[in-house]
Amino acid sequence: MREIDARLREDVHLLGELLGETMRLQYGDEFLDKIERIRKAAKAARQGSEAGHQALTDSLAGLGEDELLPVTRAFNQFLNLANIAEQYHHIRRRRPGEAEPFENRVLGELLGRLRETGLGGEELASQFARLDVELVLTAHPTEVARRTLIQKYDAIAEALGRLDHRDLTEAERGDGRRRLQRLIAEAWHTEEIRHRRPTAVDEAKWGFAVIEHSLWEAVPNMLRRADAVLFQHTGQRLPLDAAPLRIASWMGGDRDGNPNVTAVASREVLLLARWMAADLFLRDVDRLAADLSMHQASDEMRVRVGVHPEPYRALLKALRDRLRATRAWAETALHDTVPPGPEVLLDNRDLIEPLECCHRSLHACGMGVVADGALLDCLRRATTFGLFLVRLDIRQEASRHSAALSEITEYLDLGRYEDWPEAERVRFLSAELDNRRPLLPPDYAPAKETAEVLATCRVIAEAPAASLGSYVISMAAAPSDVLAVQLLLKETGLRRPMRVVPLFETLTDLDNAGPVVDGLLALPGYRERLYGPQEVMIGYSDSAKDAGTTAAAWAQYRAQETLVEICKRHGVELLLFHGRGGTVGRGGGPAHAAILSQPPGSVNGRFRTTEQGEMIRFKFGLPAIAEQNLALYLAAVLEATLQPPPTPEPAWREEMDRLAADGLAGYREIVREHPRFVAYFRQATPEQELGRLPLGSRPAKRRAGGVESLRAIPWIFAWTQTRLMLPAWLGWERALEQAGERGEDDLLRTMRDRWPFFRTRIDMLEMVLAKAEVAIAELYDERLVETELRPLGAQLRGLLSQVRADVLTLTDQSELLGHSPETRESIEVRNIYLDPLHLLQMELLARSRQAGETAESPLEQALLVSVAGIAAGLRNTG
């Protein structure tokens, strides 16, 4: 092993040792010995020891009722601490001779390669400055850890950093170890799991905390490094007004199937964001006012502040007063509807302009080194986050808009909108959008659901444009779905453009995306109302649940190609919004590779994507980790724009058509057509239990029914808990088997070597297969599934073994992830702690189902801790 790997192992050992000491102090030596016996038995079992497996089973079976929760908590915490050590490992201090991680080198190496192709420095710098990457934070129930505990985990990572110095004295090292001990004790004695389901506002506050504690520092740091490498390779600086990366949010705006996200909640979230932004900038400006005590100033500054011994402080104190007024107003407006006073900051230029004035003056007076410190960081934040912190998207299902319009048209004796054919809907909506008179009479009193739709539209109309992102329409299927939202917004007072975004989710919808957008862009009135690019959202989660990842991935690719061609023909810029999840089964996986595998022309300097669930914490929870991931996004979008991947050859397209058709048939044959599949799914996985646990503000189901009624997240999450990982691979076994029978193995290898799209799909498939465990899934069946349903489980495990063998053949490897031993080792180390958790979860599920426990019982609490622990151990789980 390399030295850096040894340092990671040392950190894992140290954290585990300190956790053990914490548990010993609470429960005594006997408890700690029991935990250690379980761990050693799990390790021996993993190495193939039958005695180890038997010892593990016996130890867990012998646990008393009062031991289930503490033992489950112990292994959950071990996995969380391993995650912390691994995260810190990515950002730790590099010793002389150690290579920087890829994430730290990616931008500089890319710019160097681009210059070698003959790209001019000014052109490259200009393209970089025009990048528009927007990460949309979304709240999802796979993030089960409490915010309080997450903050303690961040402090543990910071404490590891303090110990990562060779020249520490014995006293300093002792102090650092004791600090770690205290933090781990605090985490151990803090309940991991919330007792009540979070509200939409709670979720938004969690998102704001990620910005406050990580991204607020990470964004200017990353832009400072980007500016340095840009200057190194092009001789150009990143302009002050450049914002190549922004943050948006669905937290408090995503009402699709979530009755808890109301107009009142969205208004509150918008105001809380303004309060938080004012508070964060107030802290920055306070520090700047203390630091910028200089008296030399430019004529521009002197004219602005008059005769003053400390002109910078004078200007910044005036800005500070306005920030205080803004914060006070936002706090009052949370409780009372009060208009903002004249001192309240409403336009981002009012925040940026005083900072720019200070920056210009300092440079003019020879104090550029001061200007380009904390002041420049504040300017970068002002450009990126602004007075509204994040742009809130609104999402609602198309049927809610149609139902609202039906109620309105029936009230007006115009007939029932939902019964009209598409052409009639478009004629009606277009005419009303062009009509100056209102459609709704002042005495119209809508029913409850329509009133909520209209109230949401009023919140949008009343909010500043810069505080909002896009209005996303779930299950969009026709041009009228977009026009309907535009009309409802017009009728509630919106007099400015807003991007209204169709979201194409199912296989059928993806195939129909091109004709829908083509029809929209052909409408003269629509083109006149279109402001900026035509944004279209591609749904990954629901398309994968509908058709399996083989067919869904190809449908997503083809839909993007078609949209690129259509928008080019209409002379309209296209902005694709990727609804990617954290897992392979929901379109997730490494973002850098995914962006570089998109169709040529689909990433044209602009990229919008969701960041979901627990992946927000893993990718952006620590400032240094966030810097690395932000740099990966910028590098990938720049490369995909300037060096797009090759257009797939006709033979590759034909092969993907065959793979998708075979994959779709294999997937639906099991999920849709097998008569006992739903019964098996609900017995073999904790799906039913997940629905009643307080994991998120959104219900687990859109409606009553089978698999089709489930949201994509619990569908994926449930299979991940049992390690069958079925949604991520089902269908590929049929597709690859049929390709082999047709003698197409060489063609598949060529596609993998030369086509980034196909290579990325296979790489993500391989990663998830490395995390799948046939033996663990079989144990769930033996403990939880009725005898007559077990043959289906055996069939599925056989298909899993088959697809593993097919992937190994395709990649010419003897074991999965043979090309990535560090990733494989990370998974194997975690399995030692995951195996006991899986066995405990099986037992807890069995006891819970027998006893009918409530969510507040110790048994259910232990079950939820096991869910959290397995999620932590597998990382990208939902």
Which residues form the catalytic set? Answer: 140, 545
Measured CA to CA in angstroms, residue 518 lies from 521, 534, 537, 565 at distances of 5, 11, 15, 10
Which of 251-286 are b and which e, b meaning 16 or more Cβ less than 10 Å from the residue's Cβ?
Answer: bbbbbbbbebbbbebbbbbbbbbbbbbbbbbbebbe
Asked if residues 184 and 156 have their Cβ atoms less than 8 Å apart, the reply is yes
Asked if residues 354 and 314 have their Cβ atoms less than 8 Å apart, the reply is no
Q: Which amino acid is at 246?
A: R
Q: Would you give the DSSP letter of residue 212?
A: I
Among the listed residues 569, 547, 543, the one whose alpha carbon sits nearest the alpha carbon of residue 556: 543
Q: Which amino acid is at 617?
A: R
Q: Which amino acid is at 710?
A: L
Cα–Cα distance between 600 and 164 in angstroms, integer? 44
Cα–Cα distance between 185 and 174 in angstroms, integer? 16
Measured CA to CA in angstroms, residue 109 lies from 77, 116, 128, 229, 289 at distances of 38, 11, 14, 9, 38
Asked if residues 398 and 367 have their Cβ atoms less than 8 Å apart, the reply is no
Measured CA to CA in angstroms, residue 319 lies from 183, 221, 307, 344, 371 at distances of 38, 24, 18, 10, 17
Structure tokens at 728: 């991520």
Structure tokens at 731: 């269908």
Contacts of 683 (CB under 8 A, 6+ apart): 784, 785, 786, 789
Contacts of 744 (CB under 8 A, 6+ apart): 655
The pairing of strands 468-474 and 500-504 is parallel
**What would you measure as the largest C-alpha separation in the chain, in angstroms?**
89
Collapse the DSSP code of 45 into the 3-class scheme (helix H, G, I; strand E, B; otherwise coil) and give the result: helix
Structure tokens at 165: 């110095």
Total residue count of the chain as it appears in this document: 878
Cα–Cα distance between 434 and 833 in angstroms, integer? 63
Cα–Cα distance between 673 and 661 in angstroms, integer? 16
- 470 backbone dihedrals φ, ψ, rounded to 5°: -120, 160
Give the containing element (helix H, strand E) for 608.
strand 606-612
Asked if residues 816 and 771 have their Cβ atoms less than 8 Å apart, the reply is no
Structure tokens at 568: 């080019």
Structure tokens at 314: 């004078």
Strand positions, DSSP E, 185-334 = 245-249
Which of 820-834 are b and which e, b meaning 16 or more Cβ less than 10 Å from the residue's Cβ?
Answer: eeeebebbebbbbbb
Collapse the DSSP code of 191 into the 3-class scheme (helix H, G, I; strand E, B; otherwise coil) and give the result: coil
- 246 backbone dihedrals φ, ψ, rounded to 5°: -135, 165
Q: Would you give the DSSP letter of residue 710?
A: B
Asked if residues 389 and 383 have their Cβ atoms less than 8 Å apart, the reply is no
Cα–Cα distance between 377 and 369 in angstroms, integer? 13
